[in-house]
Amino acid sequence: MIFPEYIKAGDTIGVTAPSAGVSKEADIVRFKSAKKRLEDFGYKVIFTDDVFKDDGNGRSTDAITRAREFMELIENPEVKYICSAKGGDFLMEILPYLDFNKIKANPKWIQGFSDNTSLTFNICTSCDIATVYCNNFGDFGMENWHSSVEENLKILEGEINSQKNYDMYEDDYYDRVTGLESYNLTKPVSMKLYNGNKGEGKADFSGRMIGGCLDVVMDTLGTKYENVKGFVEKYKDEGIVWYLESFLNNSEGVMRNMWKMKELGWFENTKGILFGRELMYEKFSETEFDEACMTMLEELKIPVIFGVDIGHKAPQLCIINGAYYTINYDNGLKLTYRK
């Protein structure tokens, strides 16, 4: 696994919009604040041309231009860390226009979540480069950083390699007024374990981490842009740990997704699975998200944890695709990684 160099003061951070851009005034304020905060830490921050644009259809601009702007950051030797502006729905459109050979020849940290799974997931499995599933750029712009944002930067700097779950989470979308707001933490974090392997309510497992937004993973499943079978085979001796979270799905859809991944052999050599909090989940069959997943996963007989701080209901743990993680669950969750 290729690990990019950890970042340090003096390095350049490149922000681009491979999916949607930001155009609301509060978001623009938030981005300017994020730029200043990171510059105060000694970093240089550059924006590609279309970060603050929106074509009205959930894209910052056309696919070819979005791909070109991303590749400009890949080929810029001063840029050590690329952070996506926002999620969206159509990032997969840029994949045919990316040069994966150049991406592999210029390893650097690539971060984003949600629709950015098309980058973080596929670059990790296809190029064998570690990528980051965590906040999009705007979260660096909150006036009072949540501890998860601080940890995000410290992980990129190589200062820490371990995280624990948070106490509270944001259970819904909240419109920003100033753009500088922190998370609106409304509910206590609550996790649920199936198939604990260390006694009642306890589990330990480890392996190479891979995953992202389930909705987006399904978009490129079976295409030439993913190489999950190759990833699973390469790291079979170390084992695999999956993490998944869902933006928009329903009970039947989740069952079909899990069945398809299982039948493709994606869960071979898997030692455990983490599920983030689902966002918009419809229970057509009155089946809860965890129950829907376990309908297809129970036969694997591995630990599966639901309600983890991953995904659309902030805050988020900073997950490194391709890293070797040790997971400890015992009255809380602890994740520790190594290269």
Report, as an integer, the average pLDDT of 153-159.
98
Angular region, 124: left φ>0, alpha ψ -120 to 50, beta rest: alpha
Q: Are residues 186 and 120 in the same domain?
A: no
pLDDT at 283: 83
- For 202-234, the pLDDT digits (tens) are 999 999 999 999 999 999 999 999 999 999 999
Q: At which of 161, 180, 202 does a domain end?
A: 161
Predicted confidence (pLDDT) at residue 147 exceeds the cutoff of 90: yes
Report, as an integer, the average pLDDT of 173-181.
89
Report, as an integer, the average pLDDT of 73-94.
97
List all residues 6 or more positions away from 189 whose beta carbon is below 8 Å from its beta carbon. Answer: 165, 166, 167, 168, 169, 307, 309
Predicted confidence (pLDDT) at residue 174 exceeds the cutoff of 90: no
Interior angle at CA 135, CA 131 and CA 141, nearest 5: 135
Q: For residue 316, what pLDDT band results from cuts at 50, 70 and 90? A: very high
pLDDT at 42: 98
HSE, side-chain direction, 13 A CA sphere, residue 293: 24
**Tokens 């389930």 belong to which residue?**
214
pTM: 0.96
Predicted confidence (pLDDT) at residue 146 exceeds the cutoff of 90: yes
Q: Are residues 271 and 244 in the same domain?
A: yes
pLDDT at 248: 85
Q: At which of 108, 143, 161 does a domain end?
A: 161
Q: Where are the alpha helices (DSSP H) in the chain?
A: 25-40, 63-75, 100-105, 117-127, 147-156, 214-220, 228-234, 251-263, 289-297
pLDDT at 51: 98
- For 116-134, the pLDDT digits (tens) are 999 999 999 999 999 999 9
Distance between CA atoms of residues 321 and 128, nearest Å: 9
Predicted confidence (pLDDT) at residue 172 exceeds the cutoff of 90: no
23 contacts 51 by C-beta, under 8 angstroms: no
Comparing CA positions, the residue from 258, 268, 263, 327 lying closest to residue 298 is 258
Structural domain containing residue 315:
168-338
HSE, side-chain direction, 13 A CA sphere, residue 232: 17
CATH code of the domain containing 265: 3.50.30.60
- For 322-331, the pLDDT digits (tens) are 999 999 999 9
Does any domain span residue 2? no
Q: Are residues 137 and 274 in the same domain?
A: no
CATH code of the domain containing 48: 3.40.50.10740
Q: Are residues 216 and 130 in the same domain?
A: no
pLDDT at 143: 96
Does any domain span residue 7? no
Q: Are residues 152 and 183 in the same domain?
A: no
Burial of 237 (0-12, 13-18, 19+ CB in 10 A): exposed
Report, as an integer, the average pLDDT of 43-54.
97
Mean pLDDT of the chain: 96
Predicted confidence (pLDDT) at residue 175 exceeds the cutoff of 90: no
pLDDT at 56: 86
Q: Are residues 233 and 334 in the same domain?
A: yes
Q: At which of 146, 161, 176 does a domain end?
A: 161
Domain count, the chain: 2
pLDDT at 285: 81
Distance between CA atoms of residues 93 and 67, nearest Å: 9
Q: What single-letter DSSP state applies at residue 235?
A: T
Report, as an integer, the average pLDDT of 76-82.
98
Q: Are residues 48 and 146 in the same domain?
A: yes
- For 17-42, the pLDDT digits (tens) are 999 999 999 999 999 999 999 999 99
Q: Are residues 146 and 20 in the same domain?
A: yes
Predicted confidence (pLDDT) at residue 250 exceeds the cutoff of 90: no
* Integer-rounded Cα radius of gyration of the chain: 19
- For 232-247, the pLDDT digits (tens) are 999 999 999 999 999 9
